[in-house]
Homo-oligomer: A and B are copies of this chain.
Amino acid sequence: MDELPHFNADGGSHMVDVSGKPVTHRQAVASARVVMQASTLQLIQQGQAEKGNVLEVARLAGIMAAKRTGDLIPLCHPLPISSVNIELFGEAPDTLVIRSQVGTEGKTGVEMEALVAASTAALTVYDMVKSADRGVVIERVQLEHKSGGKTGVWNREGQVDR
């Protein structure tokens, strides 16, 4: 079944054989949005300056989660990550954007690592503000860009611009 390569002819799941693939430099960029009350985002932004660094906690959670992607996503190959960068910035009075970039020299891409990083950073923001604003929603967890490997470069149309 070509369209769902994680299953073999009998329908059983497997970890796809990548042993014949070349090692290439690969990168992926993913993003997530955390939509909250404007007063909650103000609280986060004031905290940066004064009282507690929500964004740094989220960033570290994302970096550490990226390293554990192979443990979390059942059919992912374990990969030696060579870089992780996570930015967090306000996009609207009620919206925080998280943007993660992951690189590796490997036989498979790091799309999942970038998505796990962005998603875990977003969940960590939720954890820290939930007592003030339980209704926060994580939106648009998505791949923005990937490069390297046989399928080369892919960019989301209308990708986040900054």
Residues of A within 8 A of B (CB): 1, 3-8, 10-19, 25, 43-44, 47, 50-57, 59-61, 63-68, 70-88, 103-107, 111-112, 115-116, 119-120, 122-124, 126-132, 134-143, 146, 154, 156-157
Contacts and interface: CB of A to CB of B under 8 A. Distances in A.
B3 A132 contact: yes
A148 to B, nearest CB: 10
A57 B86 CA distance: 14
A41 to B, nearest CB: 12
Q: Is the interface of A mostly helix, strand, loop or mixed?
A: mixed
A4 B74 CA distance: 23
How many copies of this chain sit in the oligomeric assembly?
Answer: 6
Nearest to A143: B134
Contacts of A146: 134
A127 B57 contact: no
B87 A12 contact: yes
B72 A68 contact: yes
A124 B134 CA distance: 25
